[in-house]
Every structure is written in structure tokens, then in C-alpha cells.
Structure 1
């Protein structure tokens, strides 16, 4: 298959592209650099510039583009970059797919923040989106940006992806030194459910959906057993052989994290129901396995 990936050189895209090439697929990366390398094509989503022929020739288009999640959440610049780098890129690709004579399939990455706070309720792809937190609003716009491809009859999979834990990612780069110093902390009381997924399961799930003939709609990409924040903290600490006794009070998080605070304190007992229905078997089904995989 011919696969086009926006964000092919990023944290997720690098691993997915490598996996696809080992499986015999041809991968073309979309880059904003004016001097593309081998297997790359330049595009400018903010100017609406994309070679339509690249999309026409593709069997599947994948969007993994997006600015880094870690920044200063109180600033308008960070919020705008986080929103537009996801929504604009998705919309430009979806509109190009809609114009294609034979619309390719579209894998549009998204995030579990779509659901908002559900407490202890089990959350599946059929659950509603709740609340007005910043990232929840972003994910709604992000999903709506894929609508032109859906309306054109393309096979569209929306990947509601939990934080992907692996070496080289921002989450592990920031947390690992802290936990190794014994400074790992619970957030609030630690009772909130905190979905995560390993890199190999993200890549495995995305590959399954990409190669599937009929799969479409939203897919929760998360490990089947969602830990509480306290359980995640304990699993992380055990993996690096350090204690984790500290906790950050909710009121401190509310002030320090600003618009990002709801993302840290909400609870979401997420299930990858649609992936399990397709027969996907997770290699890392719980927090302990995810952490072991991330630090292997």
C-alpha cells in the first residue's frame, strides 16, 4: 500500500513509518521543510498548500502532526499552536481526500481528552463528550476537521489516543529523572483514572486500522485496564526502583497548570472497545506492562 503520513518524523510517526516499511508498504512523509529528503514531499497546511497528486496516489493518509503538548498553558501562543497544528492539518488533509477521484482511507489522530471527566464510569467509543476544558474543546474541533473526508465517503478512523509512553517522548523525558530522584508525585488524591498506552500498542493498533478493509469511526487507543493516577505513579516508581510518597494538592495544580489543570485531574475509565471488537490483542494491557515497555 502507498501511505502518506503527516508528522512522519515525529515521536509517533517515526515508529509507525518504520513499522509500515518493514511490512512492505511505501511511506511518503509530508514535511514543512522546503528541502524535502528522500521519501518526503513539502506541504504548507497553513497556506493550504498540498500536492493533490500525492493524496490521489495514496491508499491511506495518516495525520500525526501537532505541536508539542508540553509548554506554558497560560499563554495564548501555546494554546493557538496546539489547536491549529492539529485542526488545520486535519482539515487540509480531509479536504484533499474529499477532492480525490478515489478517496483514500484516512487515519486521523486525536486524543482521549475528547471525553472529558466521567468519574468512575466505564468510557467506550459510544460515550459522550463532556465539559468545556481546553483540550476537550480542541479534540472536538480536531474530530470535526475530518468531516469532509467522512462526507466524501472515505473510510475514516479517528484515533482517540491516550498518552503514549516510550523513550524519547516528552512525558518520559520529563518524568523519568523526577521518579529516579524519588520525586514522583500523585496528582490530587490520585483517585482519578488515567489512561495510557505503550508505543508498540499504538503502532500495532494504527497498523491494524490502516491495513483493515472496512474499519471506520472512533477508536480508543489505550491499554485495556485503565489505572488510577496513584496506580500509575506506583507502577512508574516500581519500574525505576524508587519510592513515590509525594502528592500535589488539587488547588496547587489548579493555579500552576492553568487551562491544563482539568486534563490532569479529570477521571476517565477508558476501554478500547472498538479495537478489541476487531480482535486486536494488546501486548501491554495494564500500567505495569506499559511502564516496563516504555523503559525497556
Structure 2
């Protein structure tokens, strides 16, 4: 396949490229030279780079589009300017891709586009799957809902659309786990707030294997929860991580401290999202890491 990939230098994109070596990849990136150095580990001579979509009039030459680009949602406080950047980096690029698909006489057969479990907002302790439809005013829902709506406009008899409602991606190469490790290694780790909020997590290997599975499964379409079959509470996650690192587990971080440090974006740490990957498992996908303890053991070995 010839695949147009956005977000190829991000946490998921870097790992995904390793699993697409038999395909011809075109990476959309603002800085091709920087991207080349970042993904050099996986370039088997099958990767080319473009810095803009402006010279493309259609996507006839592509068999698939994987759209993972977007400003990180938790790296900075949610000022008005940052909220706008978070939205525009997702919505505007996706809109351009959809317009190019519509302009194609032989469009890509699939658009796989990002989203997040933040779409659901706080669902307390209740388990749910992709059949749950929600409407609320929270920022994360608004970002994801609009992003998904734009991507779904690409759907036609020629093009199927798969939406990735991604949970917390656990990786030894960066992301949430790397940020957690230092305080835990210092013996300062512990649950956030009362720790009863559910965390929908996924091992990076299952994340990218799942994307490849959707790419290759021609009848797959719609929204997919990309999280392990067994979500856990923040308290349980914290205990397992501390135990894996052979560190104590007796502290906790009060809610007000994180609200002070992070502002409105702290809600992402307190929303309880007990999401289940029903559609992915019904499709026949088998998780390599469905339980947290083996997942953390594997990742911490690689991190060491």
C-alpha cells in the first residue's frame, strides 16, 4: 500500500512506522529534515516526506490515509490560545484531508483518524463501550466530537472511515508513563485525588498493532475504543506501578494541587472513563497486553 501518514514523529507514529516497513509511506511533516532524523530507526527506504498538502489536488495516488497529527493536549495549560491550537491542529488538517479525498476520482480505500476517550467525559464507575453516545460541554468532548465529525465526512462507498478513540498510551519511549516514573522511583508516587477514577490504558504495541489491524481489515469502520479490555482505577494503577518499581506506595496527590498546577486540563486526570474495546475485540483483534501488570513489566524492562 501507499499510505499518507500525519503525526508520524509523535509517540504513536514513531512506533507505527516500525510496523509498516512493507508499505510505501509518505509522511506529512512541517520539518522533513527533523522528521528524517526522528524516524531514521525505521526507514527501510520506504519513507518519503512532504511539508504541505498544498501541492496535492487529490489523493488518487494513495491507498490509505492515517491521520494522527495534533497538538499535545496535556503539555500546556489550557489558555484560550492553547485551546485554539489544540482544536485547529486537529480540525483544519483533517478537513484538508477530507476535501482531498472528495476531490479524488480513485480515493484512498480507508481513512484512519485519531480521537480520544476524552470524547466520553466522566462516566464514573460505569463500564461502557462504543455504543455509548454522549453530548456535553466539556472541552475534551468538543475537541473529539468535532474532530470525528469532520473525519466521518470522508465516508463513502469507496472510502471507509475508522476513528481511534485512544486511551492512555503506555510506552517506554515517552508519553504519560515516562512522566510518572521519576516521582515513583523517588518513592513519591501515589494515587491522584481519591484514586477511584478509572484509567483506560493501552500498551503501545497493542495501539499500533490495532491500527495495522484496522488498515488490513476491509470491513472495519466506525468508532473504536483503543484501550485494553481491563481498565483499572488510578489507585490500582498506582499500586501496580509502585510494586513493579519496588517502591513504597503511601502518598497521594490532592486534587487541589493538580488544579493549581494544571488549571482546567487537570480534569483529564480526574474524569473516570471505564471504556471497553468491544468493537475491536468483536472484530477478532487479540491484545498482547490485556492486563496492566504484564504490560508495565514489559515496558519497564525496556525502559531500564
How large is the RMSD of aligned CA atoms in angstroms?
Answer: 1.9
Partner of 1:64: 68
What is the CA deviation profile of residues 135-193 of structure 1, one whole-angstrom value per residue up to 9, with x for unaligned ones?
12111121112132025752000000111110222312211111101111211100111
Q: Does 1:91 align with 2:95?
A: yes
Kindly report which structure 2 residues correspond to 1:90-239, keeping only aligned pairs within 5 A, or say none.
90-104=94-108, 105-150=110-155, 154-239=159-244
Q: CA-to-partner distance for each residue in 1:60-99, whole Å, 9 max, x for gaps?
A: 1001111223333242332222222122222211221122
Report the count of equivalent residues.
290
Instruction: Determine the C-alpha separation between the residues in 2 that align with 1:186 and 1:130.
Output: 29
State yes or no: 1:75 paired with 2:79.
yes
Deviation for aligned residue 1:26: 1.6
2:39 counterpart residue number: none
1:4-33 deviations in whole A, cap 9, x for unaligned? 111112211111111011xx2222211222
Q: Distance in 2 between matches of 1:153 and 1:83?
A: 28
The verdict on how the C-alpha distance between 1:136 and 1:50 changes in structure 2, with shifts beyond 3 A counting, is farther
Using structure 2 for the length normalisation, give the TM-score.
0.89
Q: Which runs of 5+ in 2 are unaligned?
A: 37-44
Provide runs of 4+ in structure 1 moved above 4 Å: 34-38
1:228-253, Cα deviation, whole Å (9 max, x unpaired): 01011111111211112111223333
Matches within 5 A, 1:35-74: 39-44=47-52, 49=54, 51-52=56-57, 55-74=59-78
CA contact (8 A) 1:188 1:249 kept: yes
1:291 matches 2:299: no
Separation (CA, whole Å) in 1 of partners of 2:158 and 2:270? 38
State whether structure 2 residue 12 is matched by structure 1 residue 26: no
Residue 259 (structure 1) aligns with:
264
Q: CA–CA distance in 1 between the matches of 2:157 and 2:261?
A: 44
Normalized against structure 1, the TM-score is what?
0.91
* Match of residue 13 from structure 2: 13
CA distance in 1, matches of 2:78, 2:165: 24
CA distance in 2, matches of 1:262, 1:145: 25
